[in-house]
Each structure stands twice: as structure tokens, then as C-alpha cells.
Structure 1
Amino acid sequence: MCIKMVANGEKCFTFALGSFTKTIKCKMIRFTGDHPAKVDARGRIFFPSGLVKDLPNDYPGTFFIKTDVHDKYLNVYTEPEWEIQAEIVEKRMNLNNPRHRQFLRSYYKGVTKVSLDGNGRILLPKSFLEYAEIEKEVMILGRSRMIEIWSKENFEKADLSQEELQDMALEFLGDDIPYI
């Protein structure tokens, strides 16, 4: 993926997959930090103020939420980021292949569009709460261009020790990158 600044100060994301390229203009959003939160009886969580601050002032407050295909947590995407993700997935599929169609059906059934309500909350569908084993307490993790929502218990189980993090940093990034 290539990122470049355009004349009005917005950034363009250009990504390529084989011979396919797509450019999307949007303000770059980078989410950071882990934020504890509680789920109310209706399945709503307050969107953390630390993440709201990462959104552009004119962002409409709509997100796409998807169950993760590998682990028991939820992925949250802004609309521009969801468009990028959907394009990447769809370009890898051959709709003449029955297994590809089956994958796409299952992939997209785990997606819903949500909006922040007037109190800064998002409503998580009951099926998503069950999938991610979320009951009362959650951890909301800013992961660069997306957000993860975990049950507090599963987040703590999946968290790395400092030693594991150091080992992975050396393995994946090498020892020549300053300030990691």
C-alpha cells in the first residue's frame, strides 16, 4: 500500500493486488491504545474518547464491525478502511468457484454497520457478543487503521509477556530498527 498527500491536505491510499490498483482519498486515521469499557444490558458500549479523538471532526460516526476469522474478537473498521478491506477480499475471489462463493457468504454474514448514538455508544449485535464471548467487560484496542473489541478475559489470555514481545520484535522486525 502506498500513501501520498494530495493538494488539499488529505491522504490518498493506493493499494495494488496483482494488476489491480485502487486509490481512495481519505484522511488517514490511526487508532492507538487499549481502553477498558463495559457493556450495558442492551449490548451497548461507550466508544472510548481516546479513539474518538483519532477521528476527523467531520467523520459521520459509522463503522463496520466484523467477527474475526482467526480469534474470538471483533474487528471495527471506519467506512474508508472497510472499503479497502472488502476490495482486497473480493479481488482474490473467483465467483465461478463454489468454495469462493461459500467463503464470501460466511465472511460477509459476520459484518454489520453501526453508528455512534447521541451518547457516543455503539450497539453490538447479540450474535457478535456471543461469538467474542463478551459479557460485561471489554478491552477496546486501537490497532492502527482498525479497532479490536475483546472480552476482557480473552484479551488477557492473548496478551504477550514483555519477554515474548521482545522475542517477536527481534524475529519479525530485526534488531536494526531504532526505537521499537
Structure 2
Amino acid sequence: MSVFIGNSDAKADAKGRIFIPAHYRKALQEGESSRLVMRKDPYSNSLMLYPETIWNQKLTTLKNGLDEWNPTHQIVLMQYVSEAEWLDMDSQGRVLIPKKYLQLIGAESEVQFVGMLDTFSLWAKGNFEKAKLPADEFTSLLQQIMSKPKNTQEQ
């Protein structure tokens, strides 16, 4: 499994091409995937980038949680999938992010990649810093989460 940690700044060129950070490219290559799926994150003003295998796992989880005879569930599935785009990395390690997606997150050219273990996100430069929790709140929540017994974390 590819592991994406840390964060890196990057710039989109006039066409919207952005170099994937070298350490993320290496993780993608180790995971034998140069194909990504991108969609707007429903919880933040960022774009989520999934290696193809992780995307397929997420879709399986979603599909297994849906009732195929429930019309609302079908709309959720259609909306989730229809708002996704395939991204192929070129030989130089760039992906083309359609301008509408850069505009959607408020990015002009400067962006920031943020690792999230099996995926990574793309933010307009500076927006991730604004979205982060205050240090004391982060520390408190981290301590609560990490000190829970394993079986209660899954509930």
C-alpha cells in the first residue's frame, strides 16, 4: 500500500498541469499506480486524489452500504461517482487538473498537497493552514482518540 505523508507546495501552469511531489510519485510507483481519481472533498474546500486501487476500495465500501432499491441511495452513488475524474500522470510526473476544479477550491496557481496515508488532498495555497484545528484542540482530540481502547474506536 502506498503511504502519503507530509505536505508540499506546487504551482499549476497555465494549462492546469501540476507536478505531483516526488515522494508521492515514488509511493504511487511502489504501489504500481500512476492513475488517480480526483473528486471534491465533501468535508473541506479541497480535492481528494485517490490511487486507483484505493478508489476502487472506497467504491466497494460505498456500494456495500447502499440499498440498490432505495432511490436516495442511488442518487448518493450517482452523485459521488459523477463528481469524480480520472487523472493520468504524464512522463514528467504531472497531472492535469481541470480549471473548474482549481476554481472550486479557490486556487489560482499555487497549491498545496497534503498526505492522508492512503490518499492525498490538494488545497489552494494557505487554505489548509486556515482549516487546521488550533494546537490545543488538536492535541486534546488526538489524545482522546489515541487513548481509546481498540474495540471502542471501531464503534
The interval holding the TM-score normalised by the smaller chain is 0.7 to 0.9
Q: Which has the higher contact order (CA 8 A, sep 6+)?
A: 2
Give the structure with higher Rg (CA): 1
Rate the CA distance shift 1:165–1:130 in 2: closer, same or farther, 3 A: same
User: TM-score, normalised to structure 1's length?
Assistant: 0.76
Q: Deviations over 1:88-132 (max 9, x none)?
A: 011111121111111112111211111111221101122221222
Could you tell me which residue of structure 1 aligns to residue 145 of structure 2?
A: 172
The question of 1:72 aligning with 2:45 is answered yes
Q: How does 1:102-141 map to 2 (within 5 A)?
A: 102-141=75-114
What is the deviation of 1:33? 0.7
More helix by share: 2
Query: Structure 2 CA distance, aligned partners of 1:154 and 1:132?
Result: 9
More strand by share: 1
The residue identity in structure 2 corresponding to 1:101 is Q
Deviates more, 1:153-162 or 1:132-141: 153-162
Contact 2:33–2:52, Cα closer than 8 Å, also in 1: no
Q: How does 1:58-97 map to 2 (within 5 A)?
A: 59-97=32-70
Q: Deviations over 1:133-157 (max 9, x none)?
A: 2211111011100011111132121
Could you tell me which residue of structure 1 aligns to residue 153 of structure 2?
A: none
Which ranges of 4 or more aligned residues in structure 1 deviate by more than 3 Å? none
User: TM-score, normalised to structure 2's length?
Assistant: 0.87
RMSD value, Cα: 1.8
What is the deviation of 1:53? 2.1
Query: Structure 2 CA distance, aligned partners of 1:117 and 1:142?
Result: 21
Q: Secondary structure at the match of 1:54?
A: helix
Paired residues, number: 149
The residue identity in structure 2 corresponding to 1:157 is K
The residue identity in structure 2 corresponding to 1:124 is I
Query: Structure 1 CA distance, aligned partners of 2:148 and 2:71?
Result: 45
The question of 1:29 aligning with 2:2 is answered yes
Query: Structure 2 CA distance, aligned partners of 1:90 and 1:130?
Result: 30
Structure 1, unpaired ranges of 5+: 1-27
What is the deviation of 1:58? 7.2
Q: Secondary structure at the match of 1:76?
A: strand
Q: Deviations over 1:156-180 (max 9, x none)?
A: 211233323211111221289xxxx
Contact 2:2–2:31, Cα closer than 8 Å, also in 1: no
Q: Deviations over 1:22-54 (max 9, x none)?
A: xxxxxx111111011111111111000121122
Rate the CA distance shift 1:70–1:127 in 2: closer, same or farther, 3 A: same
